[in-house]
Chains A and B, each alone.
Chain A
Amino acid sequence: MPAVSKGDGMRGLAVFISDIRNCKSKEAEIKRINKELANIRSKFKGDKALDGYSKKKYVCKLLFIFLLGHDIDFGHMEAVNLLSSNRYTEKQIGYLFISVLVNSNSELIRLINNAIKNDLASRNPTFMGLALHCIANVGSREMAEAFAGEIPKILVAGDTMDSVKQSAALCLLRLYRTSPDLVPMGDWTSRVVHLLNDQHLGVVTAATSLITTLAQKNPEEFKTSVSLAVSRLSRIVTSASTDLQDYTYYFVPAPWLSVKLLRLLQCYPPPEDPAVRGRLTECLETILNKAQEPPKSKKVQHSNAKNAVLFEAISLIIHHDSEPNLLVRACNQLGQFLQHRETNLRYLALESMCTLASSEFSHEAVKTHIETVINALKTERDVSVRQRAVDLLYAMCDRSNAQQIVAEMLNYLETADYSIREEIVLKVAILAEKYAVDYTWYVDTILNLIRIAGDYVSEEVWYRVIQIVINRDDVQGYAAKTVFEALQAPACHENLVKVGGYILGEFGNLIAGDPRSSPLIQFNLLHSKFHLCSVPTRALLLSTYIKFVNLFPEIKTTIQDVLRSDSQLKNADVELQQRAVEYLRLSTIASTDILATVLEEMPPFPERESSILAKLKKKKGPSTVTDLEETKKERSADMNGGAEPAPVNASTVSTPSPSADLLGLGTGPPTNAASPPASSGSLLVDVFSEPASAVTQLAPGSQENFASPDLASSELVSEEPAETARGADELTHKFVCKNNGVLFENQLLQIGLKSEFRQNLGRMFIFYGNKTSTQFLTFTPTLICSDDLQSNLNLQTKPVDPTVDGGAQVQQVVNIECISDFTEAPVLNIQFRYGGTFQNVSVKLPITLNKFFQPTEMASQDFFQRWKQLSNPQQEVQNIFKAKHPMDPEITKAKIIGFGSALLEEVDPNPANFVGAGIIHTRTAQIGCLLRLEPNLQAQMYRLTLRTSKETVSQRLCDLLSEQF
């Protein structure tokens, strides 16, 4: 039997404990315990009244059994009986049992409360202490109801002993935490604050904890504690290490109290009183200075206690966030700790720096430690330290170092502990999005993320990448190409299949011109993954297939075959079966138009808080990600392309309204993203930079009518020079603000135009009228685009009949897609034979950038806010010019509306001015445009100002519009 130390009187208990320890097996232990429980139960139930000692002993045995992890369902009454014993030790064991075992059994609580009441009234400090401990240990609401009024009195009574005061303070604190509503505020609060001045440091220590919690909830009421805490702290910090006697811990004066005082001060802003403030700054400086002094002891306890105070001081400095000097010193100090040999200090330094990183004064200083932190990520052997390093990298990330940090995190992810992978994935996803300047980098990063840690990529992450790709035209082609390449891997993660399926379904057409990623290859690639995927992914892929039916009519039958197979149509999963049946039916009965409408490209997602950020917040608690939230606005501004007005996607989803469908746009071949793949080679010029297969003549059978200028000119060489329409530019100007009219006329030929534009697409009907009574032979209209223009504007047309009878009119349809903003106009060249002579006519086609304008209505406030956002000198173009036409406001208004922008009334403070707003839609970008026209009637001048997010657009629109007035 082991040596039993002093004060122990219960040999029976010791014997029992020995027995338990000697048990060879769990079964033996349980047997021994059951025997003891039976024994105790019979004693408690027995006829013979037990004396206090036996009761104490048995209660103590029950307690021991409970602490071994066994349930105890009796003995509570006996324990409560012990409370009213006059013997201290019996009372003590009774209280111990109650505080360990009683949660809140109301029947017992009443009895317990009675015993406590008696002890509190006993004026015996030892008994009072026991009673207070019991209240604090149980801390139930019933106890708060019974004692919350009483304890403050004990706390501030003049004759209460110090030890009782300490217990009363902490007891009250416990009750306040459980039931703040039951603790009445009153006179006692001001007296509690003055306990900060108490001579007894133990009293001050206990009182500071209480005051801190009270001050958090009632800052005004406890405001006076600030100056008291500062002066107390100052006295401690400047004291010699021996002054505080037993409160000095390994040569550190009162470290616990110092930490608590510094915590209390963190409930308040920096003190307003300059004297107090100065004194506090001195304290903090002294603490920082002491960190540089040689240690007074080599014991780890000394340095720990000293650093505990130092870290708390740094927390206060960060909390105040007002003294750049202190912040930078704090950062330097933490920088030293980052390389300390003590793991604990490295851990804390990383943790503390995280909060420092969010201060504007120290953010840059924190960033200087990036290499050390990255090194910690690579070399720390303890996962909890590495986790801190990840947190800090996340906190110090900004535009300047995002690429490096994201790369390092991705790197680390390859070997990271499973426990923290998901969090790292979320962080990488957030940083990549937040700091993406180049969205191809964003797409690469997320795909890497899926490749490295696909299992940890939550839905939020892959949803987000799709949202972003859909909202950013400039990255869609790249995203399609990249997912296509990533899908080539023999074993790719299901999440990649999801992203790939979705993106190819939307934007597969952008890469379909490359024979290596032809529609069929795309489809086969996706379908090769189909059978390995879970049901939700398969469902997604089926949607991709039906999207393909629209995008790539030439593989429609292949897809229909797949949908028709038994494994789809008779799939046991209802969702899959339903999709297969419905999609198959849809592809069979719907016209291409309906298909094109139903399966149109997804409209942009409304901008909202990143779902990933929300997830990280949920995971880490809101406090840890608040710094990001502040910069969220910045991010969403990026997403929207700066000043771009609110998304106008509603019109994209809606089916074209009949009234808008002037020219039967809805009945022709699809002109949107679902353009026929045979002609999509030209669409891909920008993606694969393949030489466009520039075909000139609109010869029968030729699907394409792109003319590269040299080819066109080579044809011209041998023939008569073309008759160029005079004042071609003027003609073009005529069409800037209108869509229909006569483009060209001479004795032989009249060319009329009708056109319609929506978003970045348009269709132009060209009518060729033979004014003579003689046939035109080999009638060949050709569209000529320069190389430059070709990459910005995509024109497609069908050939016309080479014979035009006398007096007849033929019609040619040109489908137009604006890929990116452009300046030049395409040239329409017409060659034909009329009565043996060769005729050659060239005229500019009035396809101008403003045709892709979508008006945007906005309030005055919004207009000027956006106007200000576009204040960059490159974004603004201004022209002052003389009026060429009478300055009629009504005509001016009509012209602005005809130009395509919305005319905003009551926006400009000067009613004579005109302002407009709209968005230029191109395939690669949507460019928000604001314009302002200021007429000066006296001088017969105008001043026109254009602001857009793109310089070339501002310039072009300004040029076009200036010619109109």
Chain B
Amino acid sequence: MMRFMLLFSRQGKLRLQKWYLAMSDKERKKMVRELMQVVLARKPKMCSFLEWRDLKVVYKRYASLYFCCAIEGQDNELITLELIHRYVELLDKYFGSVCELDIIFNFEKAYFILDEFLMGGDVQDTSKKSVLKAIEQADLLQEEDESPRSVLEEMGLA
């Protein structure tokens, strides 16, 4: 099972974190800091896998973003690498050529898509169609909910 997934930029800014095992906030922060340092220090063309603590780390860089998964000893590295790719495809399909900014400004969407794809550290559904259908349905519900609001209210000035 996957233990956690991190998205961070080349500058070391964490963009998304998903933990599949309960852990204290302090411990999480320590792990993030440590692992980002390790991964960012690696040169391009290096292997996508590394041993880290008692885990296997699988990472891949897409443009300015690093996608980084920690899996357990028995887990399959290559399929995890493609899991990252599939997630990127889902983001790409949803946002239409996704970029880091999309993930910054719509971080909650990035989480929702990830939740549809992975649950408790295992793949829920690998079909692009199924995952996107679920998200689109949710969006439809959202649009029904939304009523127009004044700009002033939006800015918190009303």
Residue positions of A touching B, CB distance < 8 A: 2, 4-12, 14-15, 17, 21, 39, 53, 60, 63-64, 67, 69, 71, 87-90, 92-93, 96, 100, 103-104, 126, 129, 132-133, 136-140, 163, 166-167, 170-171, 173-174, 177-178, 201-202, 205-206, 209, 246-247, 249, 254-257, 259-260, 263, 266, 301, 304-305, 307-309, 311-312, 343-344, 346-348, 381-382, 384-385, 387, 621, 623
Contact = CB atoms under 8 A, between A and B. Distances in A.
B76 A344 contact: no
B64 interface: no
Interface in B1-53: 1, 14, 16-17, 20, 22, 24-25, 29, 42-43, 45-51
Contact of A209 (B29, B78, B82, B122): B122
Contacts of B134: 129, 163
Given A63-B108, A343-B46, A382-B46, A304 B149 contact: no
A5 B120 contact: no
A4 B78 contact: no
Interface in B100-123: 101-102, 104-109, 111-112, 115, 119-123
A7 B126 contact: no
7 contacts: A7-B139, A14-B105, A71-B25, A103-B24, A202-B125, A311-B76, A348-B78
Nearest to B52: A384
Contact of B45 (A7, A343, A347): A343
Interface in B117-158: 119-130, 134, 137-139, 141-143, 145-146, 149, 151, 154-156
Contacts, number: 206
B122 A206 contact: yes
Contacts of B149: 53
A201 B127 CA distance: 9
Given A343-B46, A344-B49, A384-B46, A96 B29 contact: no
A170 B82 contact: no
Given A103-B24, A139-B22, A308 B76 contact: yes
Given A9-B142, A89-B142, A139-B22, A255 B79 contact: yes
Contacts of B76: 259, 263, 308, 311-312
Contacts of A139: 22, 120
A17 B95 CA distance: 18
Ranked 7 nearest A-B pairs via Cβ = A174-B120, A308-B78, A202-B125, A308-B79, A88-B141, A246-B127, A170-B119
Contacts of B54: 621
Contacts of A129: 134
A266 B121 CA distance: 20
Nearest to B42: A382
Contacts of B141: 88-89, 126
Contacts of B86: 249
Nearest to A209: B122
Contacts of B17: 67
Given A69-B14, A96-B112, A171-B119, A249 B126 contact: yes
A9 B146 contact: yes
A89 B146 CA distance: 9
Contacts of A137: 115, 120
> B29, B105, B142: which has the most chain A beta carbons within 10 Å?
B105
Contact of A347 (B16, B47, B101, B102): B47
B95 A21 contact: no
B155 A347 contact: no
A88 B142 CA distance: 6
A263 B25 CA distance: 32
A307 B146 CA distance: 46
A5 B17 CA distance: 21
B48 to A, nearest CB: 5
B145 A205 contact: no
Contacts of A382: 42, 46-47
A11 B127 contact: no
> A14, A63, A170: which has the most chain B beta carbons within 10 Å?
A170
Contact of A171 (B74, B101, B104, B120): B120
B95 A166 contact: no
A92 B109 CA distance: 10
A138 B112 CA distance: 15
